[in-house]
Amino acid sequence: MKTNRKEFIKTSLLAGTAIGFNACKFDSKTRPTSIVTNKPIVISTWRFGLQANAAAWEILKNGGKAIDAVEAGVKVPEADANERSVGLGGRPDRDGIVSLDACIMDELGNIGSVVCLENIKHAISVARAIMEKTPHVMLAGQGAYQFALSQGFQKENLLLPESEKEWKEWLVHNQYKPIANIENHDTIGMLALDESGNLSGACTTSGMAFKMRGRVGDSPIIGAGLYVDNEIGAATATGHGEEVIRIAGSSLVVELMRQGLKPEEACKEAVMRVVKLMERRNKNLKDIQVGFIALNKLGEHGAYCVQSGFNFAIQSKEQKELIDAPFYLKV
Ligand code: ASP
């Protein structure tokens, strides 16, 4: 389902009116003083977010916790062999090895992250186990794999025939050239606000297809691919991770909301930082995509991206849909 910008505004306004956003007031510190909140709600990146949200919603609608909802939600594309940018069936690196990156953050500021994880499909659950069962916040490669096995995760071959075929075709030219929006990347980033008013987020990916072995993008990096501040809001990113890391993207979006910006405005401002640094470095903006989604403490949401093609999924009591994100590059 495609939605244009006009429809997006209309839908947002309707949703806003339906739940009484107009009644919301902010004090001098931009903290909400009204109790009218759009909750529970879950939002996530790309089309696969629709199914992922549905799994998260099963938890949220029954009064479950946001942290459980985001984990359950992103596990859907992680387990789906047909989704080739996340988990099982993900595209490999240039050496033919599928390696996963993920992170998770709860309402208390607990964090867990895993990078370059091989042979375990639910990277997000490994990240959560790191958060809950170790004194650390991030584990990498072999150490992360050994930890996962010790926690009962099963070894599995993540490289499936379709991705292997693509990789072999890619080897003929052997060029690392990610294409914006053309399915050789994509990450599921998910943000949820639960019935108790708590926020959490999760982010998981197989990263850029045919990346260098050992390459880590933004997705497992707290502050870049994901950030949650339970007083303010949460944000997550997708697209060319190198550009997101450069501006500490998700943390920036949350800080902009702290200063009073609405979610879409905050996402737009962060995208403008990406644009500025691309221009400063004489890089061609058309070669990249970066998209942010954000959710604030009132359950208001928004997104913004560099160029057309990025969409995000929403599920709440009033809404269940996929929305095209507004974008900067008009060509
Ligand atoms: N951000 C991911 C990465 O750089 C890829 C994506 O979301 O498209 O690994």
Convert the pLDDT of each residue in 215-225 to its tens digit. 999 999 999 99
Contacts of 236 (CB under 8 A, 6+ apart): 45, 189, 190, 191, 201, 203, 225, 226, 227, 250, 292, 293
**Ligand 1 centre and the CA of 114: distance in Å?**
15
| pLDDT greater at residue 126 or residue 18 | 126
pLDDT for residue 213 is more than 60: yes
Task: List, by residue number, the catalytic residues.
Answer: 187
pLDDT for residue 158 is more than 60: yes
Average pLDDT over residues 171-195: 78
| pLDDT greater at residue 13 or residue 317 | 317
pLDDT category, 36, cuts 50, 70, 90?
Answer: confident
**Ligand 1 centre and the CA of 208: distance in Å?**
6
pLDDT for residue 9 is more than 90: no
- ω before 220 within 30° of 0 (cis)? no
**Ligand 1 centre and the CA of 206: distance in Å?**
8
Convert the pLDDT of each residue in 114-146 to its tens digit. 999 999 999 999 999 999 999 999 999 999 999
Q: What is the pLDDT of residue 132?
A: 98
Ligand 1 atom closest to 45 (CA)? 7
Average pLDDT over residues 287-296: 97
98-130 as b/e, with b when 16 or more CB fall inside 10 Å? Answer: bbbbbbbbbbeeebbbbbbbbbbbbbbbbbbbb
pLDDT for residue 231 is more than 60: yes
pLDDT category, 186, cuts 50, 70, 90?
Answer: confident
Mutation choice for ligand 1 from 86, 181, 183, 240, CB with most ligand atoms inside 8 A: 240
pLDDT category, 11, cuts 50, 70, 90?
Answer: very low
Say how far apart CA 314 and CA 43 lie, in whole Å. 4
Residue 41 and residue 301 in contact, taking contact as beta carbons nearer than 8 Å: yes
pLDDT for residue 73 is more than 60: yes
Say how far apart CA 28 and CA 9 lie, in whole Å. 27
Q: What is the pLDDT of residue 99?
A: 97
Say how far apart CA 296 and CA 230 lie, in whole Å. 9
Ligand 1 atom closest to 208 (CA)? 9
32-329: CATH topology: Glutamine Phosphoribosylpyrophosphate, subunit 1, domain 1 (3.60.20)
Instruction: Quote the pTM value.
Output: 0.89
Nearest alpha carbon to residue 41 among 323, 258, 295, 321: 295
pLDDT category, 5, cuts 50, 70, 90?
Answer: very low
Residue 145 and residue 117 in contact, taking contact as beta carbons nearer than 8 Å: yes
Q: Where are the domains of the chain?
A: 32-329
pLDDT for residue 272 is more than 50: yes
